[in-house]
Amino acid sequence: QVQLVESGGGSVQAGGSLRLSCAASGYTSGRNRMGWFRQAPGKEREGVAIINTVGSSTYYGDSVQGRFTISQDKAKNTVYLQMNSLKPEDTAMYYCAAGYVPLGRGDLIFDISRYNSWGQGTQVTVSS
């Protein structure tokens, strides 16, 4: 079982920045992807950014491309999400997730069913 602990959420004005962290512990073998999903009230959970924990490939949702950057510290089993140029529509609960997606199956990167370990979530609120 993998435990994921997020930190770094908060409130910021539009145009500001926040950095989220997700530390993984426990049995992490068998999982090759970690990253972030988010869910706003009344909306479905959507993929934000995913990183290949074995290599370094990164994937981003269309709405955050160019503004958010995902990175990792393999020695610490920690993934980071640097969020710049934040917009009010980025307001959501952000969840860290870990799972397995076969190489070459980029079409499954943001498939929620591929991720079987989830953090408790951290709130990000962006005011205009």
Give CA–CA dist 35/22, Å, rounded: 8
Q: Can you spell out the DSSP letters for 46-61?
A: EEEEEEESSS--EEE-
Report pLDDT for 57.
95
Edge to edge, what strands does the sheet with 18-26 contain?
Answer: 2-7, 18-26, 78-83, 68-73
How does pLDDT run across 7-51, given as a tens digit for each residue? Answer: 999 999 999 999 999 999 987 778 899 999 999 999 999 999 999
pLDDT of 96 > 80? The answer is yes
Mean pLDDT of the chain: 95
Q: In the structure, what pLDDT confidence band is assigned to residue 124 with cuts at 50, 70 and 90?
A: very high
Provide the percentage of residues in the chain whose pLDDT is more than 70: 100
